[in-house]
Amino acid sequence: MKRVQFEHSTIPYLFIAPQIIIIAIFFLWPAAQAVHQSFLLEDAFGLSSQFVWFKNYFDTIGDASWRQAAWFTTVFSVLVTFLSLGIALLLAVKANEVIRGARTYRTTLMWAYAIAPPVAGLMGNLMFHPLIGDLYKFLNAIGWDFNHKLDSFDAGFVVVLIAVWKQVSVNFIFFLSGLQGISKAVNEAAMMDCKSPTRRFWTITFPLLAPTTFFLMVINITYAFFETFGIIDTTTGGAPGGSTNTLVYKVFQDGFRGADLGGSSAQSVVLMLIVLALTVIQFRFIERKVHY
């Protein structure tokens, strides 16, 4: 906050009111409802409901399909985060190093940011289409008995690939700007102190990128958790057999398709708690270590 501020009894409330009203109606109220419903059990017709304490939570956590989704979400997030960060970092380092065509590379590597996840999903879906998809044909031709409609590993492969593809550009933009933010003189000092470019990268550049990397890890985990909804919905739809369900996708499936409001709300609340826990971890342990 600023040291110098206006002091006024009404004006600040007027300025902040639109935001707070929108949050109250469309955020706090639904969130409270989710918590409330998570303690209720509705009958089949939604006519009456009964307060069942933590039953929905126990059911959720005890449910094998929920645990499967939790496991898939974990593996999926880790893979998407590390692969897209790795590819983006490599490209950003190279784009920062070349002199000729640097701007063209930057442009052609970042524009995919603007593509919506479900659009990426549909594109991927068609690339892997059993009838017309060249990637489908190619993978089968090289001896991989590939079928993402039936095989859960193959389905996971497709979802991860598309999710990584979609996320590389964002990470690239941040890494490139992070690299450009490293003082030129520090790089030059390192050149005089260390001959090997590889060693320079791991001892100077990479540690100096740490704040960017950790910020991006948070962004990417959030992305893998939530924004990949559109990708999953347009490629596998959770199939085969729920093996590519993420936690968010399952909330949607159970709530809308399955009309299990109590269970779906309990899942939402668990998800909220997971996200809160991740955020706390980020603030407590990581933030402190990586800022100079």
Of residues 136 through 165, those in contact with other proteins by CB under 8 A are 137, 165
Tell me how far the alpha carbon of residue 40 is from its chain's centroid. 30
Q: Which listed residue (59, 68, 118, 240) binds other proteins by CB under 8 A?
A: 118
Q: Does 60 bind other proteins (CB under 8 A)?
A: no
Task: Record the tokens describing residue 181, joined without a space.
Answer: 């933010």
Q: Which listed residue (52, 61, 110, 217) binds other proteins by CB under 8 A?
A: 110
Least distance (Å) between residue 78 CB and other proteins: 19
Nearest residue (CB) to other proteins, 7 versus 145: 7
Tell me which long-range contacts 120-124 makes (C-beta under 8 A, separation of at least 24): 120/162, 120/165, 120/166, 120/230, 120/231, 121/162, 121/230, 121/231, 121/232, 121/233, 121/234, 121/235, 122/234, 123/162, 124/158, 124/161, 124/162, 124/165, 124/231, 124/235
Q: Which listed residue (160, 168, 221, 266) binds other proteins by CB under 8 A?
A: 168
Q: Does 194 bind other proteins (CB under 8 A)?
A: yes
Q: Does 203 bind other proteins (CB under 8 A)?
A: yes
Least distance (Å) between residue 66 CB and other proteins: 15
Length of the chain: 292
Nearest residue (CB) to other proteins, 63 versus 233: 233
Q: Does 239 bind other proteins (CB under 8 A)?
A: no
Candidates 39-47, 75-83, 100-108, 151-159: pick the segment binding other proteins (CB under 8 A).
Answer: 100-108
**What letter would DSSP give residue 169?**
H
CA–CA gap between residue 85 and residue 216 (Å, rounded): 8
Segment 75 to 94, residues that bind other proteins, using CB under 8 A: 87, 90-91, 94
